[in-house]
Amino acid sequence: MAEFQWPWEYTFPPFFTLQTHDETRQQQLKVWSDLFLKYLKHTNQFLLGINDQNLPLFCNESIKRRLSSELILLILEHLQSTGHAAPLDKRRQEWQVYWYTLEEYGNMVYDWIQETGQTNSICTLYEIALGESTTQLDFHGVDEAVLLKALRLLEEKGKCELIEMDGSHGVKFF
Amino acid sequence: MRRRVGLGAIQQQKLAAEKYKDKGADLQESQLEQMTKQMEVFRNKLEEFAMKHKEDIRKNSQFRKQFQEMCAAIGVDPLATGKGFWSVLGMGDFYYELSVQVVEVCLAANHKTGGLMELDELRRRLIAARGQSAVHQEITKEDILMAAKKLSIFGNGFVIHKLGKGKYMVQSIPGELSMEETNILSAASNTELGSVTQTQLMKDLGWTDYRAKQALDKVLGEGLCWIDKQSDEPSYWFPSLFPGRNAQLTAT
């Protein structure tokens, strides 16, 4: 895999300290949020633990700067506000992070189903996320738990129905 | 020789002096006339020259610079040209166009730079924004300074600060930088990474701790710099002076 391209801010020491000036802080959180998403996408991850202190995302050894847990939480909450993350536990230590919002995922899958004429047939979640026919698509490789959430959202809109089969899920699109 | 005496002689001397004076005035007048004529000729020649090389002046940065220097040397401002023969040059237009682009580039980067940009960076961005053809690529720092000067009539929203050592900072947010702030910028621009601390200001500028702290808080409060609290002493960083930023700019 190609090496991850860190943005210049990653080498900018104050980037790791929460900024006091309003606008600067907004800008900082925005850049961090983008960086979180890009990094997780690059490493193919959907989960982040705040206590995972040695993750390169959380610290830059070359300039001896690291993110405090408070700042990580702030960034994740910022991601949550844009629909890109959700906490998995009450203490907000473990987080699920979506490269695309659930809505975007749902629409992408639905468009693909429409284009390939698979409405009214049943697919497994595995097929959608890791099947051979989706390798070129943006939602390929999506975490099944994330996909499930996206599909539930589609279900609420009446665009599909989820079916449980032997503990795994299938889905039928309308 | 017999010395001339008497009233007549005195009168004659007086007459001669008067004649000399008249002749002198005559001479002066004709000299002035000649000078005026020469200036007229020169003006015409300069106009001819400008007309003839209009395209070169617009397109060739080297040529433009020399032309500017020539004009400056004889005390002509080719830009003070609402009307008159200089307008045929379209020189004003060139700079007006450039200054609009300067504003565009600065405003587009404001959210990242906090409203401060180094002249070199501005030039790189301008060149990138102006398109590929060679004509557009050739702009010198002098051109930009000239263009930016025209923007000063819009008040203090757009100012150029000289930081010494040929370094310029372009400020594109409203508000005036006080002397203190300019001093801090200067101090930061002399460091490798573009950052300062309170101690450093006290040492470099001979400020008291209170004054240094106040000034730094002000710069921070205006969103011009970022604070880093993970070193021994809080340090203040100017994104516009941080070299890492430009490294990536040129790489992409």
Q: Are residues A83 and A113 in the same domain?
A: no
> How many domains does chain A divide into?
2
Q: Given 1.10.10.10, 3.40.50.2300, 3.40.50.880, 1.20.1270.360, which CATH number is that of B53-174?
A: 1.10.10.10
Classify residue B133 by its DSSP letter. Answer: S
Q: Looking at residue A24, which CATH number applies to its domain?
A: 1.10.10.570
- Residues making up chain B, counted from first to last: 252
CATH for B177-252 is 1.10.10.10
Q: Is residue A2 part of a domain?
A: no
Per-residue pLDDT in tens (0 to 9) along chain B, 252 residues: 566 677 888 888 888 999 999 999 999 999 889 888 887 887 778 777 777 777 777 777 787 778 777 776 766 666 554 444 555 555 666 777 788 888 888 888 877 777 788 888 888 888 887 766 666 667 788 888 888 877 777 776 777 888 777 778 888 777 667 778 888 888 888 888 888 999 988 888 888 888 888 888 888 888 888 999 988 889 999 888 888 876 654 444
User: What is the model's pLDDT at position B251?
Assistant: 43
- Alpha helix ranges (H) inside chain A: 22-42, 69-81, 102-115, 125-130, 144-156
CA atoms within 13 A on the CB side of B94: 26
How far apart, in whole angstroms, are the C-alpha atoms of residue B98 and residue B106?
A: 12
Reference B54, options B13, B107, B1, B93; nearest CA is B93
3-state secondary structure of A77: helix
Q: Are residues A81 and A151 in the same domain?
A: no
Task: Please check whether the two domains, B53-174 and B177-252, share a CATH topology.
Answer: yes
Print the domain residue range for A106: 102-173
Most confident of A34-38, A47-51, B210-214: A34-38
Q: Which of B111, B221, B244 sits opposite A27 (nearest CB)?
A: B111
Domain boundaries, chain B: 53-174, 177-252
Q: Are residues A77 and A154 in the same domain?
A: no
Q: Are residues A120 and A41 in the same domain?
A: no
Contact: B245, A8; criterion CB under 8 Å: yes
Question: Which residue did the predictor score with more confidence, A12 or B95?
Answer: A12
Asked if B180 contacts B251 with a C-beta cutoff of 8 angstroms, the reply is: no
Q: Is residue A1 part of a domain?
A: no
User: What is the model's pLDDT at position B235?
Assistant: 92
pLDDT at A85 over 80: yes
Contact: B230, A65; criterion CB under 8 Å: yes
Q: Looking at residue A113, which CATH number applies to its domain?
A: 1.10.10.10
Mention every residue, 6+ apart, whose C-beta is less than 8 A from residue B81. Answer: B87, B89, B91, B92
Q: Is residue A152 part of a domain?
A: yes
User: What is the model's pLDDT at position B117?
Assistant: 84
Q: Is residue A21 part of a domain?
A: yes
pLDDT at A136 over 80: no
Q: Is residue A3 part of a domain?
A: no
Reference A153, options A117, A114, A116, A100; nearest CA is A100
User: What is the model's pLDDT at position B227?
Assistant: 92
Contact: B230, A21; criterion CB under 8 Å: no
Reference B237, options B179, B206, B177, B197; nearest CA is B197
- Domain termination site, one of A97, A130, A145: A97
Contact: B230, A66; criterion CB under 8 Å: yes
Nearest-10 crossing angle of helices B141-150, B119-129: 90
User: What is the helix, strand, coil percentage profile of chain A, to 5?
Assistant: 45, 15, 35
Q: Are residues A130 and A154 in the same domain?
A: yes
Q: Are residues A81 and A124 in the same domain?
A: no
User: What is the model's pLDDT at position B2?
Assistant: 62
Question: Which residue did the predictor score with more confidence, A2 or A72?
Answer: A72
Q: Are residues A167 and A153 in the same domain?
A: yes
User: What is the model's pLDDT at position B252?
Assistant: 40
- Rounded to the nearest angstrom, the minimum Cα separation between B99 and chain A is 27
Q: Which residues of A139-165 are buried (b: 16+ CB within 10 A; e: fewer)?
A: bbebbbebbbbbbebbeeeebbeeeee
Kindly state whether A19 is in contact with chain B, defined as any CB-CB distance less than 8 angstroms: yes
- Domain termination site, one of A46, A72, A97: A97
Q: Are residues A165 and A107 in the same domain?
A: yes
Q: Are residues A81 and A109 in the same domain?
A: no
ipTM of predicted assembly, 2 dp: 0.77
- Rounded to the nearest angstrom, the minimum Cα separation between B95 and chain A is 32
Chain B residues with CB-CB distance to A27 below 8 A: 111-112
Kindly state whether A114 is in contact with chain B, defined as any CB-CB distance less than 8 angstroms: no
Contact: A21, B222; criterion CB under 8 Å: yes
Q: Which of A8, A14, A27 sits opposite B228 (nearest CB)?
A: A14
How far apart, in whole angstroms, are the C-alpha atoms of residue B236 and residue B229?
A: 9
pLDDT category of residue A30 using cuts at 50, 70 and 90: very high
